[in-house]
């Protein structure tokens, strides 16, 4: 059975409703990220709880670059330690771009948001996507390459060219960005991926799924899907 028969949000709600116990997921958050807590709290999940710890890179920067990605990874061990008394079923670094760029190794068992995206696409048997991000073009291209190396073909991609300020991107701008993709290519894709945990994509998910008639997967929804699936041993 395809995991997204009625859309990503409906699939997520069904997984959460089927849980026979509370699932607890630890999220290691970039220190300026406000979108993750905002979006996950609005999903209405009853059996999935998210526990947050802030990651402050030594450079104290917020713009995505090597010092930011490396800094998040370096800060992950201490942030994870702050959650050590919480019985967690899964732990995720809530940054997508840190998952396909170089840097120090993460503590064992920590997934990145990029890995959550890959797992969600694998569960859905999706092999062809279109990719939309707020990132710089070079970062978006690096992500497309990482997807390809993992067996997911990016048929086309579009990006805003931003290094920072992702929470300020309004829904209309996301819709317009998706609209820049060639419609015939979107039609050939099996899903639309809205990458990055830092921008607010939840307001446009249902509209885009209705418009294109296919799943729309964001980084934040992918992390929620990974968390809800831990009860079945996925991500554990």
Q: Is the pLDDT of residue 195 over 50?
A: yes
Mean pLDDT of the chain: 94
pLDDT band at 230 (very low <50, low <70, confident <90, very high): confident
Mean pLDDT of 190-209: 97
5-9, 107-111, 147-151, 195-199: segment of lowest average pLDDT: 5-9
Q: Is the pLDDT of residue 167 over 60?
A: yes
Mean pLDDT of 187-215: 97
Which two three-digit tokens encode residue 151?
């067996």
Burial of 164 from C-beta contacts in 10 A (0-12 / 13-18 / 19+)? middle
pLDDT on residue 43: 96
CA–CA separation, 34 and 49 (whole Å): 17
CA–CA separation, 155 and 7 (whole Å): 21
User: pTM for the complete prediction?
Assistant: 0.94
> For residue 55, what are the CA distances in angstroms to 31, 118, 196?
5, 23, 16
pLDDT band at 232 (very low <50, low <70, confident <90, very high): very low
Q: What is the pLDDT of residues 55-67, one digit of tens each?
A: 999 999 999 999 9
Q: Is the pLDDT of residue 163 over 90?
A: yes
Q: Is the pLDDT of residue 215 over 50?
A: yes
pLDDT band at 234 (very low <50, low <70, confident <90, very high): very low
Burial of 138 from C-beta contacts in 10 A (0-12 / 13-18 / 19+)? exposed
The proportion of the chain whose per-residue pLDDT surpasses 70, expressed as a percent, equals: 95
Q: Is the pLDDT of residue 236 over 50?
A: no
Q: Is the pLDDT of residue 233 over 50?
A: no
């Amino acid at each position: 059975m395809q995991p997204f028969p009625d859309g990503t949000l409906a699939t997520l709600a069904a997984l959460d409703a089927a849980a026979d116990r509370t699932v607890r997921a630890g999220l290691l958050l970039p220190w300026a990220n406000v979108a993750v807590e905002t979006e996950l709290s609005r999903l209405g999940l009853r059996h999935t709880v998210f526990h947050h710890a802030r990651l402050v890179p030594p450079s104290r920067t917020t713009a995505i670059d090597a010092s930011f990605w490396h800094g998040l990874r370096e800060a992950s061990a201490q942030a994870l330690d702050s959650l050590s008394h919480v019985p967690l079923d899964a732990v995720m670094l809530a940054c997508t771009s840190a998952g396909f760029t170089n840097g120090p190794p993460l503590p064992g068992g920590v997934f990145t948001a990029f890995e959550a995206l890959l797992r969600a696409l694998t569960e859905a048997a999706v092999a062809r996507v279109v990719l939309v991000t707020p990132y710089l073009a070079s970062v978006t291209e690096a992500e497309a390459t990482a997807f390809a190396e993992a067996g997911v073909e990016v048929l086309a991609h579009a990006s805003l060219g931003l290094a920072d300020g992702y929470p300020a991107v309004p829904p209309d701008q996301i819709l317009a960005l998706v609209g820049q993709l060639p419609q015939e290519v979107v039609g050939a894709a099996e899903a639309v991926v809205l990458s990055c945990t830092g921008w607010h994509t939840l307001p446009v998910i249902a509209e885009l799924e209705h418009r294109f008639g296919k799943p729309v997967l964001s980084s934040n929804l992918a992390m929620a899907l990974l968390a809800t699936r831990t009860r079945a041993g996925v991500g554990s």
